[in-house]
Amino acid sequence: MANRIKRLVFWAGGAVLPTLPEVTASFLAPGRPATLAERSGLQEAAHALAIGQEAPGQYCARAAGIFGEPGTTASTLLYQRLAEGVDALAGMPDLIAETALTLEVRLVSDYPAVWLLPALARNGLAHCFPTDVIFYLADLGGFAGVFDALIAAGVIVPGQTLWVDAHSPRTSEALRKGVDANIFVDARRFRRDLALWRLMPLPA
């Protein structure tokens, strides 16, 4: 019997790439964990960026200020590092490429294109996610109503699509909308989950 799931839709930050606040903190404060106040500030800044309220340069200036470096040098360096140094989550490039052989894959991005596209290219994922299968949160009306927008656009087809996301409240919202969802932990766990969905063979 054919599997009813035909498409995987990934949320970029946390399921394909590190979350933007995580990678930003790693660049601005290497070797130490971000404080609670820093994490909270970065999350607010990333939210404003994702929904289009702020531009990438504004995000960098705001993030540098959160870490006590309000000058233009730190924000310019951060912008460059985000454009050139974001690595995909361990194991995900190969796993996504493997799933793309038999399933449709789509990407919903909370990263702006100026940082997302170089990261995909550098990590060998540009062929899996060409620009016509990438959907930016800012173009979808923001976080509220994102599933309604994706369903209306035909990106998500309930009953045929598996939503892949590390953010459990969002996966819960997907389920409430009648969309199958998988809480992403890491590539190894995701491979096992795909096998349980009978979307790929069980790992050895």
3 has pLDDT over 80: no
113 has pLDDT over 50: yes
**Using 50, 70 and 90 to split pLDDT, how confident is the model at 72?**
confident
pLDDT given for residue 70 in this prediction: 79
Helices 20-28 and 56-66, packing angle to 10 deg = 50
Q: Where are the domains of the chain?
A: 7-17+87-196, 20-84
pTM of the model: 0.95
117 has pLDDT over 80: yes
CATH hierarchy code of domain 7-17+87-196: 3.40.50.1000
